[in-house]
Amino acid sequence: MRAGTSEAKKLKDKLAYAGLGPADEFMAQVSLLAEEKLQVYDHNLILVGGDGATWIKEGAKDYFPNCIYQLGPFPLKRKLTQTLSYNRSQKSRISLLLQEGNISEALLLLEEEKDKNPQRKDELNELSTYLLNNAEGINAVDRLKEKGLPIDTMGAMV
């Protein structure tokens, strides 16, 4: 096993909040806690990570107006693996296209995959919908870096 070459990074001023109940109530409490501890409303940019769940994206926009949503790399990879485990080469091609930000090309490959594997149409449609619904959050951190913002990879998510 090869040793890592980069230093581990630690979150600064991290906070944790867990709760059971309606999504709106959860996001309201998170926003209050974030403001109390970190004064987030004084920031021009807030990065919110999630797994693609609608309540996270919508709640983030409602409670953190200056936020940018980032789809976490782990949930994306998990979704790709669950759906395309039967065809590793196609999974790799689609994954690479997504890393490059070429979502439309990835969707075209999924359409081809549906034609080749009609028995998997439903799960491939589900993956296509997931990608379309989360297009804004795929590689958001990379797009911010390209604009010159000092952003690092996601460490934690809602």
Q: What tens digit of pLDDT does each residue of 3-30 get?
A: 555 565 565 666 677 888 898 898 899 8
Question: Which pLDDT does position 6 carry in this prediction?
Answer: 58
Question: Which pLDDT does position 3 carry in this prediction?
Answer: 53
Residue ranges of domains in the chain: 23-72+137-146, 74-136
Mean pLDDT value of segment 113-119? 95
Question: Structure tokens of 60?
Answer: 């983030």
User: Distance (Å, rounded) from C-alpha 50 to C-alpha 79?
Assistant: 13
Q: Inform me whether the pLDDT recorded for 158 exceeds 50.
A: no
Q: What is the pLDDT of residues 74-85, one digit of tens each?
A: 999 999 999 999
Closest CA to 64 of 36, 101, 32, 91: 32
Q: 158 or 15, which is more confident?
A: 15
Mention every residue, 6+ apart, whose C-beta is less than 8 A from residue 67.
45, 46, 47, 48, 60, 61
Question: Which pLDDT does position 2 carry in this prediction?
Answer: 47
* Strand ranges inside the chain, DSSP E: 46-50, 67-71
Mention every residue, 6+ apart, whose C-beta is less than 8 A from residue 77.
95
